Structure 1
Amino acid sequence: MITRVAIVPYPPLLVPRVAPGDDRQIAELRYAVLGAARWLQQGASRWRAVAADADAPGGYAGLRGSFAGYGAAVDITLSADVPGEAESSESLPLPVLIAGWLREQAGADAVTVDVLDPATAQPDCARAGAALATSEDTALLVLADGSNRHGVKSPGGNDDRAPEFDASIADALRGADADGLARIDPVLCTKLGAAGRVALQVAGGVVGIESRGVVGTRGWDATLHYSAAPFGVGYHVATWEAR
């Protein structure tokens, strides 16, 4: 069963060769994300990951990919066992590429990524999380971005609701609050350009399962390591560990 969960964003700027330089905001974000990934690896060397992508939902494992489409010829693999001659794909979804890059940076053996449709309803997300919670996997990487509408220079343009929206997500992550994550409004997410709802609600299904009597009274220790909106996008980094 899942005993460790790491929640991270997945912007390509996490990769130094994609966004070179010494920008302080990028450095702080990378530090938090890499710290969460290394913490996850300390608990398990083989990870399960969950994300959402409209163009390429499905399961991803044992593949080689590339960030060439983001301006840097940086190859990644989802497993240390992928042959060196395996063909590299630029068409892998961004969260899959980031999951592979984090696997390599943390020294984990492998990551299998479940990419869901962004329109997946909350009850289905909760059921997916419940299934993960009782699977053989012990470490879950959750790839989720917040709103992209923080300020007039943000990718989605300004929306005054974005700060409160991301603050509510930060509060839920700080407390491993399954109910708080379940309440994330999919309609509001669409309006605010928040791509992480589905993955976050799957995570809520993982930690919320004990409230339905399946895992007894197991609780979670949660830490919010980072929550900010550099470059107009809400990013959160948190870790949860089962007691």
Structure 2
Amino acid sequence: MLVAAAVCPCPPLLVPEVAAGAAAELEPLRAACAEAVAALLAAGPELIVVVGTGPEAEVWTEGGVGSLHRYGVGRVVRLPSGGVDGPELAPALTIGAWLLEQAGAAVPTHACAVPADSPAARMAGLGEGLAGLADRVGLLVMGDGSARRSLKAPGYLDGRAEEYDGAVARALGSADLAALAGLDAGLAAELLAEGRAPWQVLAGAAEGTGLTARLTYQDAPYGVGYFVASWG
């Protein structure tokens, strides 16, 4: 059963060594993520599952290694309680593993990558399945909002992006499962909002749990919508 979840964005710039001279600009976001992960661990999960987008559906149950070399940083991070080696994690999951490493997590941890275009119903079913993996399951849900929030955003400005991200923020901050489940995959793709599928996994996992939520960060630095929320 799902007992807690932390929702965080997954920009590589969360890692100070990757951000380099710009590290201070994301310190409020970094601190909010650390707080959310700490709350997740404090809930006492027996198993944590990191969920994020990836090029294909894939699961890691025996450990996994994420490389930061692609960002010019010569280090790797590993899922807690995994082996020294393991299959390479998708980039979003790598940032999740880094957050858990920073928190000193020692809880058995799996990871699950979902394609950004995954159907909502499939994500709901996946979430239900993940919630049933142990008596006390925690999710670390990694995903960004629209990457079209400004003229300098990765996808340039789209006038629909701010309204979309606002709806996502309200849903994540109020544990509105129906709103998350109803996010349109086509619109999310047009707005480059890759968090849509992971958020719908969370909605499926939280069904029937009565969890409450608190949104602790909402902003769009660099023209990308970032949200941090704690569910418990």
Pairwise same-fold verdict (TM > 0.5):
yes
Residue in structure 2 matching 1:97, options 94, 98, 109: 94
Structure 2 CA distance for aligned equivalents of residues 227 and 132 of structure 1: 27
* Matched residue, 1:143: 142
Cα distance, 1:118 vs. partner? 1.9
Q: What secondary structure sits across from 1:99 in the alignment?
A: helix
Aligned pairs (5 A) from 1:135-214: 135-136=133-134, 137-207=136-206, 209-210=207-208
Cα distance, 1:25 vs. partner? 3.5
Cα distance, 1:81 vs. partner? 4.6
Residues 45 and 108 of structure 1 are in contact (CA less than 8 Å); yes or no, is this contact kept in structure 2?
Answer: no
Structure 2 CA distance for aligned equivalents of residues 194 and 172 of structure 1: 15
Q: What secondary structure sits across from 1:113 in the alignment?
A: strand
Structure 2 CA distance for aligned equivalents of residues 45 and 153 of structure 1: 42
Residue in structure 2 matching 1:125, options 123, 126, 131: 123
* Matched residue, 2:229: 238
Q: What secondary structure sits across from 1:180 in the alignment?
A: helix
Aligned pairs (5 A) from 1:37-48: 37-43=37-43, 44=45, 46-48=47-49
* Matched residue, 1:8: 8
Matched letter for residue 126 of structure 2: A
In the TM superposition, structure 1's runs of 4+ consecutive aligned residues that sit over 6 Å from their partners are: none
The RMSD of aligned alpha carbons is: 1.8
- Structure 1: unaligned runs, 5 residues or longer: 211-217
Equivalent pairs counted in the alignment come to 228
Matched letter for residue 222 of structure 1: A
- Structure 2: unaligned runs, 5 residues or longer: none
Residues 82 and 109 of structure 2 are in contact (CA less than 8 Å); yes or no, is this contact kept in structure 1?
Answer: no
Aligned pairs (5 A) from 1:73-92: 73-83=74-84, 86=85, 92=89
Cα distance, 1:24 vs. partner? 4.6
| TM-score, structure 1 as length reference | 0.88
Structure 2 CA distance for aligned equivalents of residues 203 and 73 of structure 1: 32
Residues 99 and 111 of structure 1 are in contact (CA less than 8 Å); yes or no, is this contact kept in structure 2?
Answer: no
| TM-score, structure 2 as length reference | 0.92
